[in-house]
Structure 1
Amino acid sequence: MSGDTRRVVFVSQRYPPEQGGNASRIRDTAINLTEEGWDVTVLSPVKSYPFGEFERSRAWHTRESDGEITIHRFWTWQPQTADPAFLQRLAYFALFALHALWWLLRNIRQYDVVITSSPPITTELPGIVVSMFGKPWITDIRDLWIDAAVSLGHIEAGGLPERVARRFQGFALRTADRITVTTDATTNTLEETYGSGLSSKTVLIPNGVDTDQFHPGGGDTDTDRPVVVYTGNIGSAQDLHACVRAMAHLSNQDAVLRLVGSGDVEGELKRLADDLSLNSRVKFTGLVPRETVPTILSEATVGIAPLKDTDALKYAMPTKVYEYMACGLPTLVTGGDHIEWFVRESGGGVHVENDPERIAEALDELLGDQAYRDELAARGHDYVVEHYTRDEIARRLSDELVEVVGANDATSTGLSRQHTETAR
């Protein structure tokens, strides 16, 4: 290590005030690592996401502070439409990766270990290169980005973009010193796709929740107007279309679906709500400050986390589920093998098929039974507090970082001694 100070650099495509589960997770993890004694630096693009929500920046490189965290932001292409074309997205990802690589190479003596957060897979490029210079590198796989892109029709199955991406991803996984994943199902899929042997260096570091920030209370629930809340990215992986349609089948005509956030399909959902004459019962808040989310959850009646039912998303576990349960919200989920297992294991929610009528039936049952909601809320809260607090997860990550850096130091010392003995 560098003296007595342990230094880690995160390479992340998003960081607050940008929205999304990954942005908030990186920030929470970084804060908790500083409490574990790490000097934390984050490399991220200029504020860009959700696309079109931020003014374009001309600054090539700026430095900011977030408490004890140092943030370096680099210029990249900033799409200004909600659903940009493939080439615009590629420019957004690739230009940042190149700038992050430039910074890492120029400052290679100033840190001990690098963590790259994927998606997108382009963040792994800087990790690959610095690992060739002897720096330990952990690739943090939050989502199976290529699988999701193919499944959702963003890239053609078997086409050149997929083949190139698969080769790159496979090389990155084999090169990394460690692979961290959020679910065991992710490990299984990686081995099936990219070959056996990866599990020996893969570590489970699940998503979690800051229970100091997300906890029951802090808001007034309007029992005359029950609220079903969704928070986060309004994108194509979420089956929010089914949720909007479910409102037309709901027996409880007073209930409101509140969609908190922004994303690629927000416009489609607004048009759907208008077509179904649901404008008074489906509310779009747009982006809100992160610190207001716990209060929004505390004012809600039920939290909803709908994933599309595809093979590419069976492993997924949205951060919002932990946040709902930490705030004492009974939770309704769809899709995904892992998310179904989680709500059953925790006892904090229910899983239903991706069908508007089934979603409506489950919501009617939840909204009509206060005792049932209270029981689910208590179970879910206790479960995430016991198993999924972000400070505990950060300690586990810190232990992995210490081990990776220590192994690298031992290897470097051994090579140095071998070189000295050979010279003699």
Structure 2
Amino acid sequence: MQEILIITSYYPPESGAASNRIHHLAEGLSKKDFKVSVITPLPNYPTGRIFKKYRGTFKKTSVENGIKVHRLWLYASNSKNKVLRLFAMISYSLSLVCFFITNKVPNTVIVQSPPLLVAFTSMLFLKRKKRNLILNVSDLWPIAGLELGAFKKNFSYGLLEKIERINYKRADVILGQSEEILAHVTSIFPGKETVLYRNYPDFKPPSLSDTGDRSNKIKIVYAGLLGIAQGIHKLCENLVYDNIEFHIYGGGAEQLKIEEFIEANPNLPIIYHGSVSRDELHSALMRYDVTIIPLLNRIYGSVPSKIFEYARLGLPMLYFGGGEGEGIIESCELGWIAESSNYQDLNKVIASINHQDFSFERRLQIQNRALSDFDFNAQLNLLADRIKIEA
């Protein structure tokens, strides 16, 4: 049985797209007769504090659904202070090096990027040990950080670009979750082997039913991270509420601002439901008419995994983020597109939506499209075959 090690900064019981993505990959490969192990930090996201169950230890190893999971110590922090965040990444990188020195590492290793520094540590150390390295690039850093306003073009940014290029150079194969990511990689290293590996979900699709129970107002829902990049607070400020209700699920940096806005504007039909488990969320989402997928600014290389997850639920989508995601929504007929960062256009699109647009037939059409076009197992089979060839 071929062994594979996955190195990631996020893994359950942490929530979010990054955690779910790697979890599905690990369990999927395990079902394909690979012996899978995972290295990840002690759980701390998104609170920035190590979860209570895992405190007081430098390492915890467990077997979860046949996968050996090594949880390593780090200095946990979600501070906006760049020095503290850098120290958190360095601490995890040091824990990785200690693990590499004291443990046998399989010949095939999948490394998640970003964070760049964690990926760099893994690529630098393991390449010297002649391991087959597969770099899984889910977002383009530092470009995404520049577009989000987290970085400026200075010496530090130039250093991050060099680290990014070293990571690409040392990888034997690069997985990218978007065509834009692969185009970026091949623009730097034209001969690099790349594979498009989308963030398709792996869960049993719900059976849809025609309840016919719809209120006069359109119920729009957002579920996910309440971070700066998503811009949910600004969305609350700019939506026109004449014919809609806005429901919010999740947690993150903007949670307090959103709660304060709702409290200061009790006349607006905005309901914050807090954070719930993924299974609870899937059940809850079936009660809404439309889900909105926003990005405060268009991020090159980013394709929100929510597109594929919500399509499997048969939920019509309003996409407000620009980039490659627009093409997927449009070509697969999954919903509506509003011009990125243009709130006037967003409200115009919302005003054009009617109840027939999210009928039972429409939802079924979306779900069937997801089952045919966003097949996790078909994609995984191709990746598994590629890994066996590279071994």
Aligned match of 2:349? 362
Secondary structure class of the residue paired with 1:8: strand
* Separation in 2, partners of 1:84, 1:58: 25
Backbone CA RMSD of aligned residues: 2.4
Aligned match of 1:104? 100
Amino acid at match of 1:305: I
Residue 137 (structure 2) pairs with residue 148 (structure 1): no
* Separation in 1, partners of 2:160, 2:210: 45
Deviations 1:47-82 (A, max 9, x none): 111124644823100012221111111110112xx6
Higher relative contact order (CA 8 A, sep 6+): 1
* Shift in CA distance, 168/156, structure 1 to aligned 2, threshold 3 Å: same
Amino acid at match of 2:385: D
> Paired residues, what number?
386
* Shift in CA distance, 402/219, structure 1 to aligned 2, threshold 3 Å: farther
Deviations 1:267-308 (A, max 9, x none): 233334444x15762223332222222112212211111123
Q: Which moved more, 1:123-132 or 1:18-27?
A: 123-132
Amino acid at match of 1:378: L
| 1:136 Cα offset (Å) | 0.6
Amino acid at match of 1:292: E
Aligned match of 2:21? 25
Unaligned runs of 5+ in 2: none
Deviations 1:216-274 (A, max 9, x none): 44998962364322222222222323431344x1321xx43222211222223333444
* Shift in CA distance, 16/218, structure 1 to aligned 2, threshold 3 Å: farther
Amino acid at match of 1:356: Y
Conserved 8 A contact 2:111-2:136: yes
2:301 to 315, 322, 331: 315
* Separation in 2, partners of 1:242, 1:347: 27
2:159 to 164, 168, 174: 164
Secondary structure class of the residue paired with 1:62: strand
* Shift in CA distance, 137/296, structure 1 to aligned 2, threshold 3 Å: same
Aligned match of 1:419? none
Conserved 8 A contact 1:65-1:71: yes
Q: Which structure has the larger Rg?
A: 1
* Separation in 2, partners of 1:237, 1:25: 19
Residues 154-233 of structure 1 correspond to what in structure 2 (within 5 A)? 154-157=150-153, 159-192=154-187, 195-198=188-191, 200-212=192-204, 214-217=205-208, 223-224=214-215, 226-233=218-225
Aligned match of 1:57? 55
* Separation in 2, partners of 1:127, 1:50: 26
Alignment TM-score, normalising by the size of structure 1: 0.84
Residue 281 (structure 2) pairs with residue 293 (structure 1): yes
* Separation in 2, partners of 1:244, 1:399: 46
1:250 to 241, 244, 265: 241
Amino acid at match of 1:282: I
Report sequence identity in percent: 21
1:75 to 66, 73, 76: 73
Conserved 8 A contact 1:332-1:352: yes
* Separation in 1, partners of 2:171, 2:107: 15
| 1:13 Cα offset (Å) | 0.5
Secondary structure class of the residue paired with 1:286: coil
* Shift in CA distance, 75/65, structure 1 to aligned 2, threshold 3 Å: same
Aligned match of 1:281? 269
| 1:167 Cα offset (Å) | 0.7
Alignment TM-score, normalising by the size of structure 2: 0.91
Aligned match of 1:114? 109
Greater than 4 Å deviation, 4+ residue runs: 218-222, 371-376
**Comparing both structures, which one devotes a greater share of its residues to helix?**
1
Conserved 8 A contact 1:242-1:355: no
